[in-house]
């Protein structure tokens, strides 16, 4: 659209500010000019009839890996932000386990500069925690990072934080919200040793949720929640994968929570029975687990225990997907189908996903994540392919 063009969207089911209502939306240039019922087509040069489809503010994905710097053979800001837009995601929070990792203020500012003018979506970046960079964390201003990412379990990027004193220091002194990847590494290593002794390098894909087990997740998540309560920290636990972890979190309005939880679309949609046919295409950390875990997570969204639905978008090359099983990469490229997966795996006829989407905009405080009058146009219509 040009800066002066007008477009009227009629017969919408508008999702905004925690409610769904029938409305028409007038767009002037790149801003929403009016929201109301029965707006006249004479107000606009183009009228689009959405025929009762839902119209959402653009989604915020609070966990993506866009692979810059250092891993651009897998993806980049331009390619992955395009994928995000295709999935209705207009704002992303990008992770620090790149090459080199984003673990100091200089690397953070370099990443901001690299994304400028090259990303099709709004963006912000996490600063990565290590066992010895607390002073760097304390140097970062609120506008320079969306949060501090702590890998409390070994994952990709060699950024494991396993020193108890380092963890206590971060939870006690971080000026930023803390986001955690929670898996207990000693538990994982012990499980892995058992399977490697039996199978060598070619451990079957079905063993992935036994190696990165429910016990490993619960042990680490409970530690993170305990630290947050002890020090009064703002904690967001990423990608819950077990039903048991839900007992660590409280239902209720986000505004009243210091500790919140996220689930990813693949944990809500798949269970470990699908390893038999999908194999490493659904290999991720934490692992996709039992049908009961999947059902529990969906119920957690329904009960307002889980506050955010994300993707943990992580592209890989096809060649790496066909390595020996134990060396196949972890992560799924999901941004481009975020909205579709959320709708199909959690809606089930009761507008569950739509309510969760409204909650997510509240927790992340994204100024562009709204369909209010005079806000920028960042909207998605649920036709799977339509971007307005």
Catalytic positions: 312
Conformation bin of residue 115: beta by default, left when phi > 0, alpha when psi is -120 to 50: alpha
Angle among Cα 55, 78, 359 to the nearest 5 degrees reads 35
Burial of 113 (0-12, 13-18, 19+ CB in 10 A): exposed
In the chain, count of helices (H) and strands (E)? Answer: 13, 14
Q: Say if residues 129 and 149 touch (Cβ distance below 8 Å).
A: yes
Assess contact for 377 and 27: CB atoms under 8 A: yes
H-helix segments, the chain = 77-86, 105-115, 134-139, 164-173, 185-199, 208-211, 214-231, 265-269, 275-278, 291-302, 318-321, 338-342, 352-364
Return the residue matching tokens 């369909």: 371
* 127 DSSP β-pair partners: 148
Give the CA distances from residue 99 to residues 64, 96, 103, 258, in Å, rounded to whole numbers and listed in that order.
15, 9, 11, 32
Asked if the bond preceding 69 is cis, omega within 30° of 0, the reply is yes
Sheet with 178-181: strands ordered across:
59-64, 89-94, 122-128, 147-151, 178-181, 235-237, 259-264, 308-310
d(CA 124, CA 146): 6
Residue pair 132/95 in contact by the 8 Å Cβ criterion: no
């Amino acid at each position: 659209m040009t800066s002066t063009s007008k477009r009227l969207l009629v017969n919408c089911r508008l999702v905004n500010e925690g409610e769904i209502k029938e409305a028409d939306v007038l767009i002037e240039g790149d801003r929403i000019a009016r929201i109301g019922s029965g707006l006249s087509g004479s107000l606009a040069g183009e009228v689009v009839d959405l025929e009762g489809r839902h119209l959402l503010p653009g989604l915020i994905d609070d966990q993506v890996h866009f692979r810059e710097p250092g891993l651009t053979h897998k993806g980049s800001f331009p390619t992955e932000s395009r994928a995000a837009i295709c999935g209705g995601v207009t704002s992303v929070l990008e992770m620090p386990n790149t090459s080199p990792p984003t673990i100091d203020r200089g690397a953070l500012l370099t990443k901001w500069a690299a994304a400028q003018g090259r990303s099709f979506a709004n963006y912000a970046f996490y600063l990565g925690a290590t066992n010895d960079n607390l002073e760097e964390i304390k140097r970062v201003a609120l506008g320079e990072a969306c949060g501090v990412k702590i890998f409390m379990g070994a994952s990709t990027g060699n950024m494991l934080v396993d020193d108890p004193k380092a963890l206590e220091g971060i939870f006690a002194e971080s000026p930023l919200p803390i986001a955690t990847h929670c898996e207990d590494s000693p538990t994982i290593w012990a499980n892995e040793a058992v399977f490697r002794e039996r199978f060598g390098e070619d451990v079957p894909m079905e063993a992935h949720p036994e190696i990165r087990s429910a016990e490993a997740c619960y042990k680490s998540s409970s530690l993170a929640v305990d630290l947050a309560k002890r020090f009064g920290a703002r904690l967001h636990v990423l990608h819950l994968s077990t039903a048991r972890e839900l007992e660590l979190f409280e239902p209720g309005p986000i505004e009243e929570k210091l500790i919140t939880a996220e689930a990813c679309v693949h944990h809500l949609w798949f269970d470990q029975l699908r390893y038999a046919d999908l194999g490493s295409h659904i290999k991720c950390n934490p692992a996709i687990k039992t049908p009961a875990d999947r059902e529990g997570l969906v119920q957690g969204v329904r009960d307002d225990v889980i506050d955010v639905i994300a993707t943990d978008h992580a592209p890989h090359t096809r060649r790496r997907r066909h390595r020996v099983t134990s060396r196949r990469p972890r992560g799924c490229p999901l941004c481009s189908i975020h909205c579709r997966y959320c709708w199909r795996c959690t809606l089930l006829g009761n507008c569950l996903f739509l309510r969760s989407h409204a909650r997510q905009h509240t927790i992340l405080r994204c100024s562009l994540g709204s369909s209010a009058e005079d806000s920028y146009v960042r909207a998605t219509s649920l036709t799977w392919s339509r971007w307005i």
